C-alpha cells in the first residue's frame, strides 16, 4: 500500500495544504488527498470588484511573460516535483509529459499573448477601460470588456494546457477557478505557485484559484454553479463531466465548450509521385496521427487517400513504420487498444473486410478499409480509407471534425469552403496539425470575446 | 467413454446440479472446453484468428481460456452501414465469422428487411437471438436448434430449483412485459407455460404482435443518418411522432395488463416481467383498490434483468411482492445474459449460483487477467465459458461488474456464486473524465 499523493489547492494567492479528502484518479486508480474546499473563500462576492480590473493589460502581459520565464523545467522545482507525481495519475509517458512541460513557457510567450488579444478584440482598449464610440446617428456611448467570473474545467489529456487557460483567464482579467482533472491534480497549482513566487499579492495571482473535486460532486457543484457566483464555465472537451454541468446552465451562466473533436487527413494522388513523396507523406501522416499518443483532438484518426490499391498499400507499409517511432509528443509504444476495439478489428480481419498493418502492441496500427471504421481509432491507430477523389471524402466530414491535414497543400484552397460548410474548423498542411499560426481561432471561435462581460454605457443626449 | 461436454450436459436438471465442489468439476469443465475448441475452431473465423494470434490450441487450465474469450461486443461488431444499406452478403460473412455454422448457400434474393434476413437464416440453421437495438446497434447471436431447446430447459429447471415449485402444478402464466419475437426467447417462454400452465390460458402483455428487431430498424437507420449529417428535419419529426405513438401503445398495454392481472386474481399465478413494468402494474392494481389480500396465496414471480436505468422508490421490490401476494421464496430472480445458454438462479441466501457446465472466470476490469478469489469474495468483470453452446464460441467477457466467491454459499450449496449487486460498467458514473478528443456520437441527440 503506497501512501496517497498530496494534491494541495491554491486559493487566490495562498497555497492550501491538507489531507482531508481522499480521491482516486480515474485513469490509473492512484490515490491522492486534497484539503477540503472552503466555498466561502473560493467564491469572490460580486460586491468586490475583480482584482485585475484596474491593472493595465500591458502589465498583465509583462507578468505572464515573466512567469513563463520561470516555468522552465530545469530551474522550476514545482514542475519538477509535479513530473514525479503525475506519473501516478496520468496515462501519458513521463517523457511526453516532460516535453509538454518544456513547451509550457511558450504559452506565455509575448508574441503569442499579444496576437491572442489582437485577434479576439477589435479594440483592445476595451479590456483596460471604457471605450467611447459614436453611432451613425450621432449617439454617444461607451463599452467595456468587463472581467468575467469563470470556472475552467481543465482536461486531463494535456497537462500543460492549464498554462494556456491561466493566460486566457488573466488576459480577460477574470476571477478564475480552475477545476483540476483527476489525471492531473498537480500542474495547475505548480504553475500558480511559480507565479506567487514573483509576487504573491499581484492581482493576477489573487485572481486565480485551483482546486480538485470529483466531477459531479453535488455538494460542490450545486452550490457553486450559480449565476450569482459564476458567469462562464469553460470546458476543454466533452464527456460525462459536460453532460453533468449542462443541468446547471441557465440565464446568466453560460457554457463555453471546446467540444470533443475528431481530426482527419486528406491525401491526394500526388503523394505517389515518387518513393520519396510516399515516405514524406507517411512521415507527415504519422506525425499528425500520434500527437499525445492520439489523445489530442487534433490528432488524425482517418486518412482519406486517392490512389490505387497497390499505391495505398505501399503508403500503409511506410506509415506503420513511422507510427512506431519516438517523438517529442508521442512514444514508440503507446498503451494498447481496448479489448472491444481489438475484437472489432479481429472480426473484420477474420472476415477479410479490412487489411491491417501492425499488431495490438501499442506500436501503432494501420487499418485499410473501403469506408471509415465505426469505432474511434485511438492509441496510434490510423484508418486509411481509399477514395476515388478527395471530393468523395468531404461527405465524411461533419460538425465533430476539427483539423484536416491536406496533401498536397495547394488542394486546401479547393476543399476548404465545402469542408467549412460540412462543419469542419481548420485545414492545415499535412504534418503540421500540432502547429498553429499565432492568434488563430480555436474550434471555430474566438473564445476570449465570448468570455468577457460586454457592458454598455449608452450616453444618448 | 462419453465426452466431457455430454457429462456436463447430463447435469441439466439434476437434483444436485447446483451443489458440486468446484475442484471436482474443474477437470471435466476444462476437458469440455477443450473439446469445444477442437470442434469449433474450424468453423468460427474469429476463434481461429484469435487462437493463431495468441498461439493457444488447447485448454489445460482456466487461464488458457482468457485470451480466447470474446468480448460481448463481438456480437455487434458488424458495421451499421451494412445493415442500413441492406448488404446481406457482408452481414452474412460477418455472422459466419462469429458463428459455428457457415452461412453458405443463403438465398437473399427476396430479402428486403432485417426481419426477412433473420427468417431466411433459419433455412441454413442460424436462429438469431437479437438485442432490441433501442440503446445502440442490436447484438446478433446465432443459436442452433440444440441451443434453443437447452436454453428453454435450463431456464425452467432453474426456476423449479430456486422456487421449489413442482412441474405440472397449474398456474396461470402472465407475461407482463413486451414480448420480443425470437426463437430462443419464444422457447424459454413456451417451456415455462408448458411446465405450469396446461389448464389456464396464458396472458401476454401487448397487442398480440411480438416486437421484432426489424421494427427497430427505422431508429437504427435514423441514428446513422443523424451521425452522417444526412437526416432531414422531416424524417426526425416523423420519427419523433412514431416514437411517441410507441410510448403511448406501451402505456395502453400496461393499463390493459392491470385489468388482466386483477381478473386473474383468484387463480394461482406465475407472472414474469421486469421490475420497472411490474412496479407500474402494481401501482395500477393498488389504485383500483386491490392489494395482496385479493390475490391467491403462493403466487410466483419471475423477474429478469436489473432496473435498466429505471428510477423506482427504494421499496419497489416489497411493493411488487406484496401487491401480487408473492412470498420471498416464490420470487425467482436470475442472472443471465443473451450470450450464454445458462441462467443463474438466485438462492434464498441472496446469491446467484453458477451452473456446473459453466466455467466462472473472474477477470480484472480490462478483461485481460484472471483473478484469484482465494477463499474470499472479490470484485471482478464477469466472464464465462458456457460449455453447452453449440452455435457460437462459449467464452464471453461481459460488461458486468460483479462480486464472486468460490466458497460454499450460506444457503448450503457448493460452487461459485455471484452477489446480488451487479452493475454494468457502462452505467457507472464516468467520474470527471474530460477530453477534447471524441466523435460525432456525442452530437447525436434524441435517438440514443
Question: Residue A1 above 50 pLDDT?
Answer: no
| Mean of pLDDT over chain A | 93
In tens, the pLDDT along A88-136 reads: 888 888 888 998 999 899 999 999 999 999 999 999 999 999 999 999 9
In tens, the pLDDT along A257-288 reads: 888 889 999 999 999 999 999 999 999 999 99
- pLDDT, position B431: 47
Using alpha carbons, list the distances in angstroms from residue A47 to A95, A169, B279, B387. 46, 20, 51, 71
CA–CA distance, A238 with B133 (Å, rounded to integer): 25
Nearest to B134 by CA among B37, B36, B32, B223: B223
H helices within A225-338, ranges in order?
A: 240-246, 275-289, 309-323
- pLDDT, position B285: 96
Instruction: Tell me which DSSP letter residue A230 carries.
Output: -
In tens, the pLDDT along B288-317 reads: 999 999 999 889 999 876 676 678 899 999
Q: Looking at the complex, does the CB of residue B397 fall below 8 Å from at least one CB of chain A?
A: yes
Question: Residue B447 above 60 pLDDT?
Answer: no
Q: Over range A211-226, report the average pLDDT.
A: 92
Chain A residues within 8 A of B81 when measuring between CB atoms: 371, 374
In tens, the pLDDT along B260-287 reads: 999 999 999 999 999 989 999 999 999 9
In tens, the pLDDT along B184-232 reads: 989 998 998 888 877 899 999 987 778 888 887 878 888 888 888 888 9
What's the gap between Cα B203 and its chain centre? 22
CA–CA distance, A228 with A226 (Å, rounded to integer): 5
Could you tell me which residues come within 8 angstroms of residue A170 by beta carbon, excluding any fewer than 6 positions away? Answer: A52, A60, A63, A64, A176, A204, A207, A208
Superfamily per CATH, domain A262-429: Aldehyde Dehydrogenase; Chain A, domain 2 (3.40.309.10)
In tens, the pLDDT along A337-350 reads: 888 888 899 999 99
Chain A residues within 8 A of B442 when measuring between CB atoms: 238-239, 259-260, 400
Task: Please indicate whether residue A455 or residue B213 has the higher confidence score (pLDDT).
Answer: A455
pLDDT bracket for residue B446 (50, 70, 90): low
In tens, the pLDDT along A429-449 reads: 999 999 999 889 988 999 999
| Least confident stretch, A202-216, B28-42, B112-126, B434-448 | B434-448
Taking an 8 Å cut-off on Cβ atoms, the answer to whether B436 and A260 are in contact is yes
Question: Residue B20 above 70 pLDDT?
Answer: yes
CA–CA distance, B425 with B72 (Å, rounded to integer): 13
Rounding to the nearest 10 degrees, give the CA dihedral for residues B219, B225, B226, B231: -100
pLDDT bracket for residue A244 (50, 70, 90): confident
Q: Over range B115-121, report the average pLDDT.
A: 94
Q: Over range B159-184, report the average pLDDT.
A: 88
User: What is the CB neighbour count within 10 angstroms for residue A351?
Assistant: 21
Task: Please indicate whether residue A296 or residue B119 has the higher confidence score (pLDDT).
Answer: B119
| Least confident stretch, A32-36, A166-170, A309-313, B242-246 | B242-246
- pLDDT, position B352: 94
Question: Residue A240 above 90 pLDDT?
Answer: no
Nearest to A190 by CA among A217, A204, A210, A167: A210
Burial of B315 (0-12, 13-18, 19+ CB in 10 A): exposed
The minimum CA-CA distance between B197 and chain A, rounded to whole Å, is 43
3-state SS track over A416-451: HHHHHHHCCCEEEECCCCCCCCCCCCECCECHHHHH
The class (CATH top level) of A5-259+443-459 is alpha beta
Q: Are strands A300-306 and A381-387 parallel, antiparallel or unpaired?
A: parallel
Chain A residues within 8 A of B91 when measuring between CB atoms: none
| Least confident stretch, A7-16, A444-453, B80-89 | B80-89
Taking an 8 Å cut-off on Cβ atoms, the answer to whether B431 and A216 are in contact is yes
pLDDT bracket for residue B448 (50, 70, 90): very low
- pLDDT, position B225: 85
Q: Which residue of A has its CA nearest to B73?
A: A340
What's the gap between Cα B300 and its chain centre? 21
The minimum CA-CA distance between A196 and chain B, rounded to whole Å, is 28
Could you tell me which residues come within 8 angstroms of residue B403 by beta carbon, excluding any fewer than 6 positions away? Answer: B377, B378, B379, B380, B418, B419, B421
Q: What percent of chain B has pLDDT over 90?
A: 58
Residue A413, C-alpha cell as written in the block: 484552397
Which domains are seen in chain B, by residue range? 1-448 (3.40.50.12780)
Using alpha carbons, list the distances in angstroms from residue B58 to A394, B47, B63, B362, B395. 48, 12, 11, 20, 14
Range 349-388 of B in CB contact (< 8 A) with A: 366-368
pLDDT bracket for residue B133 (50, 70, 90): low
Sheet holding A21-24, edge to edge: A5-6, A31-34, A21-24
CA–CA distance, A241 with A225 (Å, rounded to integer): 13
CA–CA distance, A434 with A221 (Å, rounded to integer): 34
| Mean of pLDDT over chain B | 89
Chain A residues within 8 A of B97 when measuring between CB atoms: 347, 350-351
pLDDT bracket for residue B134 (50, 70, 90): low
The minimum CA-CA distance between B436 and chain A, rounded to whole Å, is 4
The minimum CA-CA distance between B54 and chain A, rounded to whole Å, is 11
- pLDDT, position A25: 85
Say if residues A224 and A43 touch (Cβ distance below 8 Å). yes
Question: Residue A413 above 80 pLDDT?
Answer: yes
Chain B residues within 8 A of A237 when measuring between CB atoms: 434-438
Burial of B295 (0-12, 13-18, 19+ CB in 10 A): buried
In tens, the pLDDT along A10-66 reads: 999 999 999 999 998 877 888 999 999 999 999 999 999 999 999 999 999 999 999
Amino acid at each position: 500500500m503506497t501512501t496517497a499523493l498530496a494534491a494541495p489547492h491554491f486559493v487566490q494567492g495562498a497555497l492550501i495544504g491538507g489531507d482531508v479528502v481522499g480521491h482516486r484518479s480515474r485513469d490509473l486508480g492512484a490515490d491522492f488527498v486534497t484539503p477540503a474546499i472552503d466555498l466561502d473563500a473560493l467564491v469572490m462576492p460580486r460586491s468586490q470588484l475583480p482584482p485585475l480590473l484596474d491593472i493595465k493589460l500591458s502589465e498583465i502581459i509583462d507578468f505572464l511573460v515573466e512567469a513563463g520565464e520561470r516555468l522552465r523545467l530545469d530551474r522550476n522545482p514545482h514542475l519538477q516535483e509535479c513530473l514525479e507525481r503525475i506519473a501516478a495519475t496520468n496515462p501519458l509517458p513521463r517523457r511526453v509529459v516532460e516535453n509538454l512541460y518544456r513547451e509550457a513557457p511558450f504559452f506565455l510567450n509575448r508574441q503569442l499573448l499579444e496576437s491572442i488579444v489582437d485577434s479576439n478584440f477589435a479594440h483592445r482598449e476595451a479590456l483596460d477601460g471604457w471605450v467611447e464610440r459614436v453611432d451613425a446617428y450621432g449617439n454617444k456611448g461607451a463599452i467595456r470588456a468587463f472581467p468575467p467570473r469563470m470556472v475552467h474545467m481543465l482536461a486531463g489529456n494535456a497537462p500543460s494546457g492549464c498554462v494556456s487557460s491561466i493566460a486566457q483567464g488573466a488576459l480577460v482579467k477574470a476571477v478564475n477557478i480552475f477545476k483540476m482533472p483527476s489525471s492531473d491534480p498537480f500542474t495547475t497549482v505548480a504553475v500558480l505557485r511559480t507565479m506567487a513566487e514573483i509576487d504573491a499579492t499581484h492581482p493576477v495571482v489573487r485572481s486565480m484559484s485551483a482546486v480538485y473535486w470529483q466531477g459531479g460532486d453535488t455538494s460542490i457543484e450545486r452550490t457553486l454553479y450559480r449565476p450569482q457566483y459564476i458567469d462562464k464555465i469553460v470546458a476543454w472537451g466533452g464527456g460525462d463531466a459536460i453532460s453533468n454541468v449542462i443541468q446547471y446552465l441557465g440565464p446568466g451562466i453560460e457554457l463555453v465548450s471546446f467540444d470533443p473533436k475528431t481530426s482527419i487527413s486528406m491525401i491526394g494522388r500526388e503523394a505517389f509521385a515518387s518513393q520519396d513523396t510516399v515516405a514524406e507523406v507517411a512521415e507527415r501522416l504519422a506525425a499528425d496521427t500520434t500527437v499525445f499518443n492520439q489523445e489530442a483532438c487534433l490528432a488524425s484518426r482517418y486518412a482519406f487517400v486517392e490512389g490505387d490499391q497497390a499505391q495505398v498499400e505501399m503508403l500503409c507499409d511506410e506509415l506503420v513504420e513511422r507510427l512506431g517511432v519516438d517523438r517529442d509528443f508521442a512514444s514508440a509504444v503507446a498503451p494498447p487498444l481496448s479489448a472491444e476495439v481489438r475484437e472489432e478489428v479481429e472480426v473484420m480481419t477474420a472476415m477479410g473486410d479490412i487489411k491491417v498493418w501492425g499488431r495490438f502492441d501499442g506500436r501503432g496500427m494501420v487499418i485499410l478499409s473501403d469506408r471509415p471504421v465505426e469505432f474511434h481509432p485511438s492509441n496510434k491507430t490510423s484508418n486509411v480509407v481509399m477514395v476515388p477523389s478527395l471530393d468523395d471524402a468531404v461527405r465524411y466530414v461533419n460538425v465533430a471534425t476539427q483539423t484536416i491535414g491536406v496533401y498536397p497543400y495547394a488542394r486546401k484552397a479547393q476543399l476548404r469552403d465545402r469542408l467549412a460548410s460540412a462543419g469542419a474548423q481548420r485545414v492545415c498542411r499535412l504534418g503540421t496539425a500540432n502547429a498553429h499560426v499565432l492568434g488563430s481561432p480555436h474550434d471555430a471561435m474566438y473564445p476570449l470575446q465570448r468570455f468577457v462581460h460586454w457592458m454598455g454605457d449608452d450616453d444618448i443626449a | 467413454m462419453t465426452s466431457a461436454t455430454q457429462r456436463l450436459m447430463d447435469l441439466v436438471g439434476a437434483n444436485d446440479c447446483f451443489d458440486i465442489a468446484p475442484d471436482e468439476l474443474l477437470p471435466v469443465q476444462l476437458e469440455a472446453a477443450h473439446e469445444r475448441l477442437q470442434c469449433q475452431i474450424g468453423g468460427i473465423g474469429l476463434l481461429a484468428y484469435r487462437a493463431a494470434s495468441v498461439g493457444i490450441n488447447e485448454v489445460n487450465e482456466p487461464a488458457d481460456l482468457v485470451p480466447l474469450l470474446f468480448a460481448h461486443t463481438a456480437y455487434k461488431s458488424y458495421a451499421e452501414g451494412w445493415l442500413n444499406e441492406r448488404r446481406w452478403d457482408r452481414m452474412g460473412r460477418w455472422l459466419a465469422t462469429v458463428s459455428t455454422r457457415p452461412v453458405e448457400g443463403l438465398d437473399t434474393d427476396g430479402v428486403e428487411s432485417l426481419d426477412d434476413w433473420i427468417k431466411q437464416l433459419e433455412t441454413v440453421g442460424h436462429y438469431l437471438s437479437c438485442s432490441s437495438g433501442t440503446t445502440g446497434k442490436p447484438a446478433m447471436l446465432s443459436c442452433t436448434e440444440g441451443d434453443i431447446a437447452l436454453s428453454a430447459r435450463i431456464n425452467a429447471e432453474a426456476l423449479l430449483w430456486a422456487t421449489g415449485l413442482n412441474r405440472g402444478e397449474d398456474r396461470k402464466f402472465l407475461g407482463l412485459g413486451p414480448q420480443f419475437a425470437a426463437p430462443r426467447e419464444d422457447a424459454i417462454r413456451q417451456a415455462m407455460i408448458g411446465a405450469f400452465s396446461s389448464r389456464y390460458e396464458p396472458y401476454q402483455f401487448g397487442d398480440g404482435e411480438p416486437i421484432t428487431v426489424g421494427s427497430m430498424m427505422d431508429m437504427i437507420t435514423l441514428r446513422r443518418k443523424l451521425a452522417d449529417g444526412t437526416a432531414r428535419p422531416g424524417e426526425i419529426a416523423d420519427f419523433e411522432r412514431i416514437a411517441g405513438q410507441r410510448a403511448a401503445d406501451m402505456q395502453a398495454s400496461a393499463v390493459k395488463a392491470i385489468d388482466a392481472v386483477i381478473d386473474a386474481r383468484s387463480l394461482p399465478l406465475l407472472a414474469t416481467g421486469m421490475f420497472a413494468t411490474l412496479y407500474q402494474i402494481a401501482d395500477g392494481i393498488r389504485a383500483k383498490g386491490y392489494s395482496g389480500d385479493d390475490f391467491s396465496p403462493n403466487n410466483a414471480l419471475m423477474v429478469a434483468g436489473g432496473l435498466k436505468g429505471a428510477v423506482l422508490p427504494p421499496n419497489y421490490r416489497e411493493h411488487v411482492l406484496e401487491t401480487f401476494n408473492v412470498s420471498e421464496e416464490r420470487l425467482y430472480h436470475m442472472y443471465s445474459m443473451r450470450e450464454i445458454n445458462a441462467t443463474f438462479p438466485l438462492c434464498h441466501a441472496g446469491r446467484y449460483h453458477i451452473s456446473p457446465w459453466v466455467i466462472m472466470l473472474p477477470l480484472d476490469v480490462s478483461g485481460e487477467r484472471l483473478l484469484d478469489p482465494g477463499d474470499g469474495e472479490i470484485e471482478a468483470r464477469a466472464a464465462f465459458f458456457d460449455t453447452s453452446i453449440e452455435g457460437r464460441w462459449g467464452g464471453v467477457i461481459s460488461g458486468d461488474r460483479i462480486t464472486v466467491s468460490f466458497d460454499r454459499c450460506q444457503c448450503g450449496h457448493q460452487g461459485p456464486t455471484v452477489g446480488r449487486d451487479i452493475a454494468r460498467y457502462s452505467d457507472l458514473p464516468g467520474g470527471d473524465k474530460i477530453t477534447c478528443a471524441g466523435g460525432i456520437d456525442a452530437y447525436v441527440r434524441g435517438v440514443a
